[in-house]
Homo-oligomer: A and B are copies of this chain.
Amino acid sequence: MNDTPTRLLDAVDRVIADHGPSGVTLRRVGTEAGLSHTAAAHYFKDKPGLFAAYLTRAYNQVGERIEAAAASTDDSYQAMLDAAATYAEFAIESPSAFSVMQRLELTHVDTPDLWSARERCYFGVAAILVRQQEAGWAAERDIRDLIALTWAFVHGFVELWVSGPLAAPYDGEDFVATLRRVFDDLLSSLA
């Protein structure tokens, strides 16, 4: 069996780690994987195709972790917090992948695999919220609003913390712990 595509995607990880997201080059990826400078294009058609495959894998990893957070406890309120923490941890642990997630223009967005990997994350979050609401929490709210509120907040918090001035006022405080605390505040206000 042929594991060359996987090796190429792993090479992308290393290239981003070494040269940043903009330093990703089909040629460099090929060389890093011990192949020719066109190998990546051969498998993924072109550069956006390579990024699409890379991102699909990343979204599936996030989706998997969200699902794991959901499955690990019966307390769906805790599951919400865990899912948020999971997302934040992913951003810290896999900055390469996370940085490319903010750059969908680099990819072929309409790739079905990529689309469904992103939906997997969406449905993972949605499932936890539905379960929590069925347990009586925030019963009068539109579930779409609950999803929008929580997801937008978590995503925005992580992105602004990593890239911007949001972190500064919390001088020195731990990122994941702060997110957990503020998100907990938000959730208890919504109930």
Give the docked Cα–Cα distance between A103 and B159 (Å).
Answer: 11
Q: Which of B99, B122, B164, B165 contacts A105 (CB 8 A)?
A: B99
Q: Is A170 an interface residue (CB 8 A)?
A: yes
Of residues 153 to 190 in A, which have CB atoms within 8 Å of B's CB atoms? 153-157, 159-160, 163-166, 169-170, 182, 185-186, 189-190
Q: How far is the CB of A165 from chain B (nearest CB, A)?
A: 5
Contact: A169 with B144, CB < 8 Å? yes
Q: Which residue of B lies closest to A183 (CB)?
A: B149
Contact: B151 with A154, CB < 8 Å? no
Among A22, A148, A186, A190, the most chain B Cβ lie within 10 Å of the Cβ of A148
Q: How far is the CB of A15 from chain B (nearest CB, A)?
A: 14
Give the docked Cα–Cα distance between A108 and B104 (Å).
Answer: 20
Q: Which residue of B lies closest to A143 (CB)?
A: B169
5 cross-chain CB contacts under 8 A: A21-B105, A149-B182, A152-B152, A152-B157, A156-B156
